[in-house]
């Protein structure tokens, strides 16, 4: 059972990286739209475009460190923290699930489970990871 574990963890790490990267790139491609998401989901005031670029840059840096396994405790912990915040902040959109785009928010739960798993198994997540 131990042989496929590092490969499975690598695949999960790459999958989460792809999502994080797309979310980060979106901050550069549609900063106004992302600001609206922050207002709607997190109930934050409008975020200036320049700050959205900074957030996107940080997310790209974090996602890159995460996928190549640098400082696994820190990077997987930050990714997990971000996913917890997103999942819990979206609570208003879980009910009713079939209204508008609410069903899309349920994808956060399996992503959260993957992030928890990667954090808990970070010491076994060694394939193509920089220690």
Per-residue model confidence as pLDDT tens digits over 38-67: 898 888 999 999 999 999 999 999 999 999
- Number of other CB atoms surrounding residue 128 within 10 Å: 13
pLDDT band at residue 18, thresholds of 50, 70 and 90? very high
pLDDT at residue 28 in the model: 96
Per-residue model confidence as pLDDT tens digits over 70-117: 999 999 999 999 999 999 998 888 888 888 878 888 999 999 999 999
pLDDT at residue 1 in the model: 53
- Token duo for residue 35: 């600001």
Cα distances (angstroms) measured from residue 74 to each of 49, 69, 83, 124: 27, 10, 14, 15
41 with 90: CB under 8 angstroms? yes
- Supply the pTM of this predicted model: 0.90
Contacts of 115 (CB under 8 A, 6+ apart): 16, 76, 79, 80, 83, 84
């Amino acid at each position: 059972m131990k042989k496929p574990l590092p490969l499975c963890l690598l695949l999960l790490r790459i999958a989460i990286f792809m999502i994080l990267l797309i979310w980060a790139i979106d901050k550069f491609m549609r900063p106004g739209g992302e600001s609206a998401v922050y207002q709607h989901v997190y109930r934050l005031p409008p975020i200036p475009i320049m700050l959205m670029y900074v957030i996107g840059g940080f997310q790209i840096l974090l996602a890159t460190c995460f996928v190549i396994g640098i400082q696994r405790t820190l990077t997987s912990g930050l990714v997990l923290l971000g996913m917890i915040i997103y999942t819990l902040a979206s609570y208003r959109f879980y009910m009713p699930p079939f209204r508008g785009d609410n069903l899309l928010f349920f994808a956060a739960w399996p992503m959260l489970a993957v992030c928890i798993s990667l954090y808990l198994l970070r010491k076994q997540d060694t394939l193509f990871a920089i220690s």
